[in-house]
Structure 1
Amino acid sequence: MTRKKKRLAVIGGGLAFLGLAAALTFYALGQRTSYFYMPGDLVAAELTPGQRIRLGGLVEKGTIERGQGTNVSFQVTDHENSVKVAYNGILPDLFREDQGVVTEGTFGTDGVFVADSVLAKHDENYMPREVADGLKAKGVWQEED
């Protein structure tokens, strides 16, 4: 084998290795993605059972129900549609009615969204970007001056 052919073989092997590494990385990331939905978007969404999603909106007034221990249920709304959420865990300190929230989890067989994480608004000036954009698109949420 000439020197030029050896060099081309090493370069080709390196490119093949990098291509395989990139393909495996994209495959692994694709398995872990969670798509963001507002309650109104779920009507048209084609979700597979067990598919992880992020559900965002506002905590609907009067729907927070605390069960035994750390079990809690509430509804997430975009003021047009609502989705019941069940969560078992400690809620963020600033979790309350009519505040922005993003939950991550899957839908149960009974149609209730079973969340394994809940993120709430941080302070008076912050709302998760996805939630704010979704509410702005529906004309429900307006920025304060």
Structure 2
Amino acid sequence: MAWTRKQKRLGIIAGLGVILALAAGLILTALRDQIVFFYSPTEIAEAALTPGTPIRLGGLVLEDSWHQEGENNTFIVHDGAGQMTAHYTGILPDLFREGQGVVAEGSLQADGSFLATSVLAKHDETYMPREVADSLREQGVWQGDGG
């Protein structure tokens, strides 16, 4: 049986669609753990991540935990149930404050602390990233309006 031009075209389009769907599925499977916007300190403890794995740590900066010596900063990020010490070398954003929401990009260290390569702070008094607010609300730490 000979295929018409229309049937050949539909067959090629269907084949390309299947290949595209398989490629998208493989990419999403490979990036499954990296798609998460951030991990809370409790989630990091539960996930048993290996030191050196690049992740994002999110939560609130614990009151009276920020210590600064020149450009070396140490602070504790907490989510109500757990906390993690974070180290950052550099100038923190102007809006970085204790008791405020923060997301830090970096990696877990062998001693259980977090070495941040960049720190993101919320941009005003009423805004908190939805993921941070939802995580803190689930822990019962924050009762704000979420945005």
TM-score over 0.5 (shorter chain):
yes
Q: Contact (CA 8 Å) 1:34, 1:52: kept in 2 or not?
A: no
Q: How does the TM-score come out when normalised to structure 2?
A: 0.76
SS state of the match for residue 132, structure 1?
helix
Distance 1:81 1:3, change over 3 A: closer
Please name the residue that 1:143 is paired with.
144
Instruction: Report matched runs for 1:9-88 at 5 Å.
Output: 10-11=12-13, 14-15=16-17, 18-19=20-21, 21-22=23-24, 25-26=27-28, 29-30=31-32, 32-34=34-36, 36-68=38-70, 70-88=71-89
Gaps of 5+ in 1: none
Amino acid at match of 1:130: E
Amino acid at match of 2:35: T
Distance 1:95 1:29, change over 3 A: same
**How many angstroms apart in 2 are the aligned matches of 1:136 and 1:88?**
30
**How many angstroms apart in 2 are the aligned matches of 1:93 and 1:77?**
20
Amino acid at match of 2:144: E
Distance 1:31 1:61, change over 3 A: closer
**How many angstroms apart in 1 are the aligned matches of 2:141 and 2:11?**
60
Identical aligned residues as a percent:
51
Write out per-residue CA displacement over residues 108-137 of structure 1, whole angstroms, 9 at most, x where no aligned residue. Answer: 112110111211121111112122112211
CA shift, 1:32, in A, is: 4.8
Amino acid at match of 2:24: A
Q: Contact (CA 8 Å) 1:84, 1:112: kept in 2 or not?
A: yes
Distance 1:102 1:8, change over 3 A: closer
Q: Contact (CA 8 Å) 2:61, 2:100: kept in 1 or not?
A: yes
CA RMSD of aligned residues (A): 2.8
Amino acid at match of 1:111: G
Q: Contact (CA 8 Å) 2:62, 2:98: kept in 1 or not?
A: yes
Gaps of 5+ in 2: none
Write out per-residue CA displacement over residues 10-34 of structure 1, whole angstroms, 9 at most, x where no aligned residue. Answer: 4465346534653565467558534
**How many angstroms apart in 1 are the aligned matches of 2:142 and 2:40?**
13
Please name the residue that 1:133 is paired with.
134
Q: Contact (CA 8 Å) 2:38, 2:58: kept in 1 or not?
A: yes
